[in-house]
Structure 1
Amino acid sequence: MAAVSLALLGAAFAESPRAQANTRSFFDAPTSADTSCLAGPQPPRFEIAP
């Protein structure tokens, strides 16, 4: 089995129900984890003041 790496932008594992559910899904089925929640989140917007 190849390595699996998932990035949940703006999510701290301990505080994110989404990250926790994804991790449980991975442990239940490592080759077919539910990654549907990864499509929605957008990276945070950064703004540099002049």
Structure 2
Amino acid sequence: AKLKHLLRTAVARTVPDLWAAIRDAFTRFTPDECRNSLTAAGYEDDLAVAT
């Protein structure tokens, strides 16, 4: 929800602008928020490989 909100408020009109908005949005997430989102999406097993 947080990522969608940030991307919608960015109102990117081109693909490069969208990528820039995504980069900017990711800076607003803590590592714990990212981990929790991936776990909630069912990627627990993949996280064990990455750590």
Q: Report the TM-score when normalising by structure 2.
A: 0.32
If you compute each CA radius of gyration, which structure gives the higher value, 1 or 2? 1
Q: Report the TM-score when normalising by structure 1.
A: 0.32
Q: Select the structure with the greater relative contact order (CA < 8 A; seq sep ≥ 6).
A: 1
